[in-house]
Amino acid sequence: MLTKLLVAGCLLAGTVIIHAVGSMAVFRSAMGSPALPDTRFWPGARLLIRTAVGIILIHLVEIVVWALFYWWQECLPDLESSIYFSGVTYATVGYGDLLLPKEWRLLASVEALTGILMCGWSTGIFFVIVNVMQKTRIKEGMTSVP
């Protein structure tokens, strides 16, 4: 069991590293975007769509990392099943139609907790970007008043 916890810890650490690198790239891209100071609707909407797509891609990479581990350890019948199981577990949907072998079940719980944490982190990034956009709009509105 200690070995399984160590493996889970390594997968968790890898997920955090991927999320940190990806989040910084998405955040820097958004903060440097010419759409950020633009107070019109469509430039802001495009920025938020790009941000959402970037964040989702980060989560998909993390899901695939866990899935590759499950596939490598032959926990599930094939790569497609591994990706499906990992996605359902990471997103905490938990359909229960696929299960890991008994000796690896603990990993599913750790992956679910990791997914919750990473989704919260992503929500925070999205909130900061929206907050900056709103502050820019408020500032722009205040400067246009005589």
Other Cβ atoms within 10 Å of 9 Cβ, number:
11
Q: Are 30 and 112 in contact (CB under 8 A)?
A: no
137 pLDDT tier (thresholds 50, 70, 90): confident
Other Cβ atoms within 10 Å of 99 Cβ, number:
12
Q: Is the residue at 21 inside a domain?
A: yes
**pLDDT given at position 144:** 44
Q: Is the residue at 146 inside a domain?
A: no
**pLDDT given at position 83:** 98
Q: Which domain holds residue 41?
A: 2-137
Q: Is the residue at 143 inside a domain?
A: no
Q: Is the residue at 145 inside a domain?
A: no
Q: Is the residue at 45 inside a domain?
A: yes
Query: Of how many residues is the chain composed?
Result: 146
CATH no. for residue 53?
1.10.287
Q: Are 5 and 107 in contact (CB under 8 A)?
A: no
pLDDT > 70? residue 141: no
| Mean pLDDT, range 101-117, rounded to an integer | 96
Amino acid at residue number 27: F
Q: Write the CA distances from 46 to 2, 30, 40, 41, 42, integer angstroms.
A: 46, 10, 11, 9, 6
Q: Is the residue at 9 inside a domain?
A: yes
| Mean pLDDT, range 83-87, rounded to an integer | 98
Number of domains the chain contains: 1
Q: Is the residue at 82 inside a domain?
A: yes
Percent of the chain with pLDDT strictly greater than 70: 95
Q: Write the CA distances from 2 to 9, 68, 72, 74, integer angstroms.
A: 10, 21, 19, 20
| Mean pLDDT, range 70-94, rounded to an integer | 97
Other Cβ atoms within 10 Å of 127 Cβ, number:
10
Token pair in block for residue 129? 């970007």
Q: Is the residue at 142 inside a domain?
A: no
**pLDDT given at position 143:** 47
